[in-house]
């Protein structure tokens, strides 16, 4: 099949979170099983200045209508291997910046212009380059209007650009909300600025465009697909999603089993596998040494996350005494809300023998925490899929997670199912998290049960090969069902 993806980020070129990891892995995996895959990205400064861009070729010059203006742009192509092409939409006014979406304090004021332009540019590039796709797959709010722009262009030109369009919601909390005045940038007729279109409480919602105007709406786990139909998790869009319920599908993400492999991870000084775990103890020693902690009687807990309310940092802060009282070690890596950063730093300062906080984003450190911890904490209030709980199981580090979204889909609770369990699952509230921590301590004390759980976790298949077969089946069913 000829498959085109469009997103605002993709690993290893640009990344702020899991969206990039998922897009990069899915792109590579689809190509590896024989599909012709193209990917469109904005021409961010980091990409333009990268070594990979040195081989890029200018393919076409664009004139994109944006409100009352026609803005020039360029499409550059990088061949990434057989059946793999990366297309870069370049307009330096919009993308030649230090960050992808804004500064730590605030989003860029012109994000509406930047991503409406990007979506229109992708459609125009597909038309000019005569890319006739079986599937156009768009990701998150930044490409929410792309399916609609594609269909409108097809109507105007009488030419097919894609047989079917897919739209993936990676996190419904980020919706691409802009003032109603931004609608004029779309050059769409007023009928689309209504409740059954882009209008959302006197604003426009770009993610709503993807929900209403794509052929299939995707989420990144089956459980999250069910959750977002409810008022608790629907972020105000549960009504729109219920309209598309028959076309809503959840497929849990996979992980890159080559990048996340304790047997050959380049970030680790010592390697290990399900057949020889001796290196894991050395990884723990290295981690504790790096953060200035010494081994205690209790287990080592790790956490790598954006420090936000969504990630359950409030729950963690309420239970920090647990680690001190039980002589455990806690290593947290992440950046985010300054209030959370300060609170965690205070705990680390007052209990330097038990708690270490690294307020930064660091790929190497995240690998060290995954390898060197006994338990990995993810007390998320909501979690569309999550990746770290899968990384953790791959590394023999038992996830301690709240039973929401993809966490519930990918971690088997060892307390309720001791024969098959691969981690500890609890409800996302304070008392349940307290019980989850106590359950983890009890499991750690039973060395035989703990070791068996570790081995079961490490044997699980979270590969993209498995996930890709599900996407393939869905793509083919969508294209050929008519």
Q: Which residues contact 445 (CB under 8 A, 6 or more apart)?
A: none
The 3-state DSSP class for residue 340 equals helix
Which residue, 313, 462, 457, 471, is CA-closest to 387? 462
As a whole number of angstroms, the longest Cα–Cα distance in the chain is 71
How far is the C-alpha of 169 from the C-alpha of 19, rounded, in Å? Answer: 10
Sheet containing strand 69-81, strands side by side: 57-66, 69-81, 84-90, 36-42, 2-6, 133-139, 162-169, 216-219, 248-250
**Per-residue DSSP letter, 189:** -
Q: ∠ CA 438-370-50 to the nearest 5 degrees? A: 150
**333 phi and psi angles, rounded to 5 deg:** -125, 125
Q: For the CA atoms of the chain, what is the radius of gyration?
A: 23
How far is the C-alpha of 115 from the C-alpha of 210, rounded, in Å? Answer: 13
Q: Which residues sit opposite 358 in a β-bridge?
A: 333
15 is in an annotated binding site: yes
How far is the C-alpha of 394 from the C-alpha of 196, rounded, in Å? Answer: 43
List binding-site positions for ADP-alpha-D-glucose: 15
List binding-site positions: 15
């Amino acid at each position: 099949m000829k498959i085109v993806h469009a997103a605002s980020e993709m690993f290893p070129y640009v990344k702020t979170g899991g969206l990039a990891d998922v897009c990069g892995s899915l792109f590579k995996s689809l190509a590896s099983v024989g599909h012709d895959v193209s990917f469109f990205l904005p021409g961010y400064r980091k990409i333009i200045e990268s070594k990979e861009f040195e081989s890029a070729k200018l393919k076409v010059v664009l004139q994109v209508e944006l409100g009352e203006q026609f803005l020039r742009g360029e499409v550059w192509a990088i061949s990434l291997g057989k059946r793999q092409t990366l297309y870069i939409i370049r307009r330096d006014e919009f993308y030649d910046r230090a960050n992808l979406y804004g500064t730590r304090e605030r989003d860029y004021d012109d994000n509406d212009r930047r991503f409406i332009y990007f979506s229109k540019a992708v459609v125009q590039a597909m038309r000019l380059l005569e890319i006739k796709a079986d599937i156009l797959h768009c990701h998150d709010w930044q490409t929410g209007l792309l399916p609609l722009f594609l269909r409108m262009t097809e109507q105007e030109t009488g030419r097919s650009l894609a047989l079917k369009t897919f739209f993936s919601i990676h996190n419904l909390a980020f919706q691409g909300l802009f003032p109603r005045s931004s609608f004029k940038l779309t050059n769409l007729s007023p009928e689309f600025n209504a409740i059954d279109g882009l209008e959302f409480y006197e604003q426009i919602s770009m993610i709503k465009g993807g929900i209403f105007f794509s052929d299939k709406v995707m989420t990144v786990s089956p459980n999250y697909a069910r959750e977002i139909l409810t008022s608790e998790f629907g972020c105000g869009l549960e009504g729109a999603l219920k309209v598309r319920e028959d076309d809503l599908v959840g497929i849990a993400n996979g992980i890159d089993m080559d990048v996340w492999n304790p047997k050959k991870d380049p970030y680790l000084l010592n390697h290990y596998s399900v057949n020889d775990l001796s290196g894991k103890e050395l990884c723990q020693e290295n981690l504790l040494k790096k953060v200035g902690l010494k081994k205690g009687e209790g287990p080592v807990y790790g956490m790598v996350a954006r420090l936000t309310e969504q990630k359950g940092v409030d729950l963690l802060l309420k239970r920090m005494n647990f680690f001190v009282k039980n002589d455990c070690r806690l290593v947290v890596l992440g950046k985010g809300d300054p209030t959370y950063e300060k609170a965690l730093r205070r705990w680390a300062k007052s209990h330097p023998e038990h708690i270490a906080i690294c307020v930064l984003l660091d790929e190497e450190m995240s690998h060290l925490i995954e390898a060197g911890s006994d338990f990995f904490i993810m007390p998320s209030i909501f979690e569309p899929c999550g990746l770290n709980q899968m990384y953790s199981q791959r590394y023999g580090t038992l996830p301690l997670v709240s039973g929401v979204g993809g966490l519930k889909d990918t971690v088997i609770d060892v307390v309720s199912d001791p024969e098959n369990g691969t981690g500890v699952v609890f409800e996302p509230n304070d008392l349940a998290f307290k019980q989850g921590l106590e359950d983890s301590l009890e499991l750690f004390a039973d060395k035989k049960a703990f070791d068996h759980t570790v081995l079961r976790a490490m044997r699980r298949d979270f590969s993209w090969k498995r996930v890709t077969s599900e996407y393939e089946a869905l793509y083919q069913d969508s294209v050929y069902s008519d």
